Each structure stands twice: as C-alpha cells, then as structure tokens.
C-alpha cells in the first residue's frame, strides 16, 4: 500500500511541476489559460479565478494545462498561443522541461543538506561507508539467494574465513574470489531489516556477471552546508543529464544497428517496482529517485519527436526557417501518429516489465 501511495505521489509531483511550468510562462506572455487541472478528469470540483478554471480531478497522477490556441484555434486573437512570437511559444513548450530540471536541483539540494547516500571509490572511502548491491543479474547465485538491488552487505563468512566488517568493495570481491565454489553466508541489511542468506559463488561465471552475479558500489553519506549544497546539486543534475543522454544515444544506436537493445528500459510497472525498493530503503532514497525521474522526464519531453514538447518545438523551428506555419492538419496528423507510437511503445515496455518481474 505504501509503495502505491509513494508511486502516485512521485508521478503526481513530476507531472504537476511540468505542467506548472507551461502554466506560469503562458501567463507571463499573456496567453489565455483556460484551465489548470490537479489530476486528470473526470472533474471532481473546480473554481474560476479570473479567466482560468482551477479544477480538481479524480485521477491523482499529476495535472494538465489547457492553453487557448494550442491546437491552432483563434490565431487572430492576440491572446492565443498561435498568435505569439515563435520564441515565446518555444519558451512555453520548454518551460515544463525547465521546471523538471529545477525540481531535480531543488530535491538534490535538500538531499545534500540533510545527508545523501552517494557512490564513491575505495580510495575515497569515508567513515561509515557501506557496500551496496546496485544490480542483481537474473538467474545468478545472488538472485536465487534472494538478494535485491539496494541491499547492503554487512559481513560475509565461509567455512574457514570470515570478513566481519565490509568497508570497501575490493575487500568483498577478494573474499569472493578466494571462495569460489564454496558455500558462503552473507549478512544483509535491507531497510530496517537484517537477515542472512547463503550462496555459492560461481567458478566460471558468464562474462561481465561476476561470481555472485551482482554489481557493487561503495556508498558514503555526503552532506554540505546549504550554500555548497546548491552547487553540488547543479553539478549532480548536470552529470545525470549527460549520463541519461549517453545511455539514450547508446540505446538508439543499438536498436538501429542491431535491431535490439542490451539496455533494460523500465516502464510504469518497472518504475512501480523500483519505487517499492526505494521506499523500503528510506525517504532519502525516494527523494533521490524522484530527482532522477524528474531529469528523465525533462529529457524525454525535450526530444524532437512528434507529440512531445521537443517535437512541437521542432515544428516551430521549421516554421521559422520556412517563414510560414506548417499545415495545421499535417502537424496534427504527425503528432497523432507519434502519440500512437509512444502508447504502443509503453505497452511493449510494460509487457517486458511483467515478464521480467513476474
């Protein structure tokens, strides 16, 4: 139940903040905003202030903004979206992307102020650093032992040797290498729970999987005073943007060059599962996840693909070069096709999530 509530709140915040960006900038440029909705219809209730209806809707997954003239109507009305200059319309369209980036900076600033778990290297290990599982390979000894992403390995024991306190990744890796093919006992922390589990590290594991079948990272708690936390948050978001762009470029290249991708892509079901894992680990991990998803949402929406904000900006760019708008009918048709493609893609990803998780 808590996972469902956390998932709805996170998704709601991300979409709501995105639409809030469109709303504020449209108002700034004098464009008439007909409705700003909290959640998605059907409408529960609403009130009108000025020319805008503020509605509260049944489905609590974010919100929407209805801008006059966004679909091409009323171009002769100076307060219509289509009557504004191209740079103003572009600003309105990209305001949601900007708001998601700012949200990520804000969340990580809070995180760095209160103390944020952050991956570091063995030679930079700080007091209290912990070894965390950041990936579990399917059908590996770790998977069969019930280990999950986010678990902390506190200690490990074999028949004739033990490692009572694990403070660096290399120490655990060396121990596992010495006991391949032997049964070992792992002491694991998962949220507030502690348990033991057994597994046998593989002697000849598949390439890039390791004997246990896990990815490991050394996690230290990082905190800064507020004035430095802001700068660190900006740097972290910049690194996230670069990482997501790089991963997305690799995914697209793999698809068009090999007809498939080796990178896992999570849909709503996968994100729900990830939210559940973060919720088990604590509030600070949910905060980190929300910041990451906010950057993801910003980048996806900025892509020059039909039906996305970036796709609409692309049409404005063509209009600027061409000197006149593209046929309204043609543009609507292209966006409709793009929307259908995105829905089908989400269905495919959701099915893959179901197969992988269940």
Q: Dmax over Cα atoms in the chain, in whole Å? A: 84
**Which residue segment(s) compose the domain that 147 sits in?**
119-222
Kindly indicate the confidence band of residue 258, based on its pLDDT and cuts at 50, 70 and 90.
Answer: low
Average pLDDT, stretch 298-314?
88
Q: Kindly state whether residue 254 falls inside one of the protein's structural domains.
A: no
Q: Kindly state whether residue 166 falls inside one of the protein's structural domains.
A: yes
User: Are 36 and 137 in a shared domain?
Assistant: no
Domains in the chain, number: 2
**pTM over cut 0.85:** no
Quote the CA–CA distance of 17 and 13 in Å, as a whole number.
6
Residues 318, 327 contacting (CB under 8 angstroms) = no
Last residue of a domain, one of 170, 203, 222: 222
Helix, coil or strand: residue 56: strand
Residues 10, 293 contacting (CB under 8 angstroms) = yes
Kindly indicate the confidence band of residue 254, based on its pLDDT and cuts at 50, 70 and 90.
Answer: low
Q: In this predicted model, what pLDDT tens digit does every residue of 23-78 receive, in sequence order?
A: 999 999 999 999 998 888 889 999 999 899 999 888 877 788 999 888 777 777 88
Q: Kindly state whether residue 268 falls inside one of the protein's structural domains.
A: yes
Helix, coil or strand: residue 305: coil
Q: What is the CATH number of the domain that holds 159?
A: 2.30.42.10
Calculate the dihedral angle through the C-alpha atoms of 157, 163, 165, 171, rounding to the nearest 10 degrees.
-120
For the chain, the residue count is 358
Q: In this predicted model, what pLDDT tens digit does every residue of 134-149 receive, in sequence order?
A: 888 888 888 898 888 8
Neighbouring CB atoms inside 10 A of 321's CB total: 7
What confidence score (pLDDT) does residue 64 get?
87
User: Are 98 and 146 in a shared domain?
Assistant: no
Last residue of a domain, one of 162, 192, 222: 222
Q: In this predicted model, what pLDDT tens digit does every residue of 343-357 receive, in sequence order?
A: 777 676 666 655 655
Residues 183, 198 contacting (CB under 8 angstroms) = yes
Q: Kindly state whether residue 247 falls inside one of the protein's structural domains.
A: no
Helix, coil or strand: residue 129: coil
């Amino acid at each position: 139940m808590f996972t469902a509530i956390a998932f709805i709140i996170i998704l709601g915040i991300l979409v709501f903040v995105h639409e809030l960006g469109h709303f504020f900038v449209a108002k700034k440029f004098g464009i008439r905003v007909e409705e700003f909705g909290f959640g998605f219809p059907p409408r529960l209730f609403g009130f009108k202030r000025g020319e805008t209806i503020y509605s509260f809707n049944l489905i609590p997954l974010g919100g929407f903004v209805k801008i006059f003239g966004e679909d091409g109507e009323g171009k002769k009305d100076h307060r219509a979206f289509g009557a504004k200059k191209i740079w103003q319309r572009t600003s309105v369209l990209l305001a949601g992307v900007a708001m998601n980036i700012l949200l990520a900076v804000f969340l990580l600033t809070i995180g760095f102020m209160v103390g944020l778990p952050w991956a570091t290297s063995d030679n930079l290990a700080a007091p209290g650093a912990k070894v965390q599982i950041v990936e579990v390979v399917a059908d590996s000894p770790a998977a069969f032992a019930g280990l999950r992403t986010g678990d902390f390995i506190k200690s490990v024991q074999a028949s004739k040797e033990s490692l009572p306190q694990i403070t660096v990744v290399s120490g655990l890796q060396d121990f596992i290498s010495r006991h391949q093919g032997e049964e070992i006992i792992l002491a694991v922390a998962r949220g507030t729970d502690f348990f033991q589990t057994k597994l046998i590290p593989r002697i000849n594991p598949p390439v890039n999987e390791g004997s246990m079948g896990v990815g490991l990272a050394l996690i230290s708690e990082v905190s800064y005073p507020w004035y430095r936390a802001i700068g660190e948050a900006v740097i972290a978001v910049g690194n996230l943007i670069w990482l997501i762009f790089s991963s997305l470029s690799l995914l697209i290249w793999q698809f068009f060059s090999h007809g498939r991708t080796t990178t896992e892509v999570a849909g709503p079901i996968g994100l729900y599962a990830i939210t559940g894992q973060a919720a088990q680990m604590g509030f600070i991990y949910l905060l980190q996840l929300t910041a990451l998803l906010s950057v993801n949402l910003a980048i996806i929406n900025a892509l020059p693909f039909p039906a996305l904000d970036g796709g609409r900006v692309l049409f404005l760019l063509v209009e600027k070069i061409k000197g006149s708008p593209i046929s309204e009918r043609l543009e609507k048709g292209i966006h409709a096709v793009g929307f259908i493609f995105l829905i089908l893609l989400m269905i495919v990803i959701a099915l893959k999530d179901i197969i992988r998780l269940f």
